[in-house]
Amino acid sequence: ACASEVIMKVDTTGASKKTALQYNLTYKGVNASHQMAQADAARLYDLRIIKRVGREFGIEPAVIAAIISRESRAGNLLQEVVQNTVNVNLNQGGYTPQGAWNREGDLRQCTERLADCIEQIKFRHPDWSKAHWLKGGIAAYNTGVENVHDRVHVDEYTTNGDYSNDVVARAQWYKEYVF
């Protein structure tokens, strides 16, 4: 349950220019991540599902929403693209997608994988803070636990080199304005 109530304490640099360009933004950083989160807010899955799944796995719903936003622009992409992204992320972690595409089922499976990544980071780096375990777990969700070596370069091997920083900044926006 380290992800609950910690998200607002996590230091973040936000989105890279490359990530921000996906939304046609000409700036980067925390402000870009907040703008992307806001743009996706209306398209988020049913918030009750996100809250229920978050409670089940001890993950802050804002973090789940931020990952949905980052991975699929909150469902703005075609379901097939979203499903492929989910399948790739699950397969990287040794998880096998179960059955046909199902919002709650797939969300539950991805959230379980995130919780597992956080626990593995906690085990590998017991001296890190809760905030660093969360950020490291988010990075590991994207790139694999074996690619998260230290707190300073947590995004070294993540997509666009900013995955956890962008997700954290989006999650902070969702925590403040949605959840």
User: Which residues are known catalytic residues?
Assistant: 71
Nearest alpha-carbon partner for 15 in 145, 142, 157, 167: 167
Residue count (the chain): 179
Are the C-beta atoms of 36 and 164 separated by less than 8 Å? Answer: no
Q: 83-86: list long-range contacts, CB under 8 Å, 24+ apart.
A: 86/110
Nearest alpha-carbon partner for 37 in 73, 9, 76: 73
Distance between CA 19 and CA 140 in Å, rounded?
Answer: 18
Distance between CA 104 and CA 87 in Å, rounded?
Answer: 14
Cα dist. 29→15, 25, 85 in Å?
5, 11, 24
